[in-house]
Structure 1
Amino acid sequence: MSIILQIETATTSCSVALAKEGLVIAQKQINERNIHAEVITLFIEELVHAAGLTYADVDAVAVSCGPGSYTGLRIGVSTAKGLCYALDKPLIAIETLEAMAYGAMPLAAAYNKADILLCPMIDARRMEVYTALFDMQGNRVKATAAEIIDENSLATELQNNPILFFGDGADKCEAVLGANNNAIFSPSFQNNAAHLSQLALKKFNDKAFEDVAYFEPYYLKDFIAGKKAL
């Protein structure tokens, strides 16, 4: 009976969940920019205590590994690696967009469209987003990429399938894609550590673990620090 501690910090959402055999038994979340470093370890401690567990009861740590916010990913992955070192537990990495797709499946199912596709989007500033495309079985239809969205984006896919757009990058894309009848937007979606559960359980059962010493987040793009105004 596996118990996996799951961490999601790739966006403005800072979320922690505990899952037993893929079912969430406890979770904490806050959606606020630049607060991850302040609350992540507190959330984990509170969650383990509230579930009536000790850290020794945790069998693995899973982390949403990107793409996403450079700072958020560093905090989440560093926290996960620190726990794995201290507890001698395996590290599981879950791509953020794939976890988002699994989290959005109940939203997509409500539209009752058998051919609907899932398009998670993470804000990468201006009109650029980190995105991919999945079907309702979790199969990847379009590879993860950083893309600049315009009125011609996903034109072929939108011609053939309804697509559910969600995530903090989808809001800014509705203005250019929303006129298409096959484009559906879900403004209520938020990244959550609970979305990692099924993917983390599969990797745990397959023993698909990361090298704790050398694992790094999946940034997709190089980090460019902005200059402060004088």
Structure 2
Amino acid sequence: MKILSIDTSTRGCSVAVHDSGALLASYDLFADKSSSAMLTSLMESAVKHAGATLADLDAIAVAKGPGSYTGLRVGVSTAKGLCYALDKPLLVINTLEAMAWQVIPFHSSDLLFCPMIDARRMEVYASIFDAEGKVVSPTEAVIVDENSFHSFLANGKVVFFGDGASKCIKVLGQNKNAVFLKADIRPSAMTVGALAKDAYAAGNFVNVASFEPYYLKDFMSPPAKKQPVSAS
């Protein structure tokens, strides 16, 4: 079971190839605006270094979001294009869930885990998982203040991580139950692919034609600059 996984949820892009859950190859590029320019090259390199061809793949997996509007659009469009061209099924994985599994295996079972993606200003995309990876609080856009996640922090320790967590330290860092990881945890195709193995086994494929990224919020373009009015 060979699966090519793609993640372009935030800055840069990430690809990986797994065979029955075993990682064969992975590439991560975190340069700004690298998704559309480098994604194709990274996919080709990953598949080649895995000792396979695109035709050998059994499925394509992609991080569905939340995250950057442009990044998600690039990743999902690329994944759908591959599925059409190769006649392969499409698997989609929640970006925050994949982030959580980068952290969960290395911590004790009495903790909760809150991956966060920066959503501008004091807003983050966040979800909370237990030590078994089960969703405790669903994915949502959260405006962080001193009362955020109060019900969870009142009952135990919560581990916060991701590029949205740093903005929360000032308002939540004084809480003894709020743990902020120093490690730079970013979305990665490696954990997308690991989760895709179970999704494939369960037959959780999505309709390639109708699937859209999980943007979570409507895309808002910046307001147009007002043009100076010339004197008549």
For the superposition of Structure 1 and Structure 2, which TM-score range results when normalised by the shorter chain?
Answer: over 0.9
Superposition deviation, residue 228 in structure 1 = 5.6
Unaligned runs of 5+ in 1: none
C-alpha contact (below 8 Å) 1:164/1:184 kept by paired residues: yes
Equivalents in 2 of 1:103, 1:86: separation in Å?
31
- Aligned residue in 1 for 2:110: 115
C-alpha contact (below 8 Å) 1:13/1:192 kept by paired residues: no
- Partner letter of residue 55 of structure 1? L
Equivalents in 2 of 1:87, 1:17: separation in Å?
17
Q: Does 1:9 align with 2:5?
A: no
Structure 1 stretch displaced more, 127-136 or 46-55: 46-55
C-alpha contact (below 8 Å) 1:13/1:190 kept by paired residues: no
Runs of 4+ in 1 over 3 A off after TM superposition: 227-230
| TM-score, scaled relative to structure 2 | 0.93
Residue 194 of structure 2 aligns to a residue whose secondary structure is: helix
In the comparison of the two structures, how many residue pairs are matched?
Answer: 225
Following superposition of structure 1 onto structure 2, how do residues 5-44 of structure 1 map, counting pairs within 5 Å?
A: 5-44=4-43
- Aligned residue in 1 for 2:209: 213
Superposition RMSD on alpha carbons, in Å?
Answer: 1.3
Following superposition of structure 1 onto structure 2, how do residues 176-195 of structure 1 map, counting pairs within 5 Å?
A: 176-187=171-182, 188-195=184-191
Superposition deviation, residue 81 in structure 1 = 0.3
Rg bigger for which structure?
Answer: 2
- Aligned residue in 2 for 1:162: 157
Structure 1 stretch displaced more, 126-135 or 46-55: 46-55
Equivalents in 2 of 1:61, 1:151: separation in Å?
41
Unaligned runs of 5+ in 2: 228-232
| TM-score, scaled relative to structure 1 | 0.94
Equivalents in 1 of 2:194, 2:47: separation in Å?
20
- Aligned-residue sequence identity (percent) comes to 50
Following superposition of structure 1 onto structure 2, how do residues 120-139 of structure 1 map, counting pairs within 5 Å?
A: 120-139=115-134
Equivalents in 2 of 1:43, 1:118: separation in Å?
30
